[in-house]
Structure 1
Amino acid sequence: MSFAYVVVTVLTIAVNAWAAIADFARAGFVLANSAALGVPHSWIPMLGALKAAGAAGLSLGLLGVPLVGVAAAAGLVLFFTGAVVAHVRIRVYGPIAVPAGYLGLAVACLVLGVA
């Protein structure tokens, strides 16, 4: 396990845990972003649960279950690819940097986890 993998994965865990908490708390920016994208507010808890599951899986990967960490990273790559596609499809480019950044972190976790 490389130092780079640990640093990137800890950062990815932190931002996804924070995003999941914001979803569960129904933070104002979460509600505004979901409304702009046409995502029903009833989906927000499930989206938060997926982010939390990704963070938990990455944590397990760091704790010695590398296949779970790789699977979690792959799941987050798929999740945030969908988020970026949703922004492009609806042409909401202002906040696209956030899911794109999360996607970049998830890709880095996946690449470093497989390496």
Structure 2
Amino acid sequence: MFAYAHGSLVDGLVPYRDVDVAVYVRPEWVQAHQDKTLAYVLSLSTELILALREEIGLRVPVDVQMLNEAPLPFRMHVVRDGRLLFTHDEELLADFIEYTARRYMDMAPLWREYTKELIRP
């Protein structure tokens, strides 16, 4: 498992409205608990809200997203612009970053072409 902070707090935008956290859990856990992923995300969000309030007096919502099945542009945004909070598995993190970057680079030309077609008069 690993987690990133991303969004306005990491970008240094003030005032920030919330804390954005993206987590990746072992794929085996996601497969075995597909019906519990939403409950897990909500529970983690609640735990982080309470911890921030108790530890540093910060009273803001915490938005938790799972990276496992997130759209590729979001995954790349988190990897490129986010700040790694922790990892329990360096190899898993490295594999995730490499896979995300390779897939993103493969898709980028197609997205550019698609965007050109959309905005062409």
Structure (1 or 2) with the greater helix fraction = 1
Structure of greater Rg: 2
TM-score of the pair, normalised by structure 1: 0.35
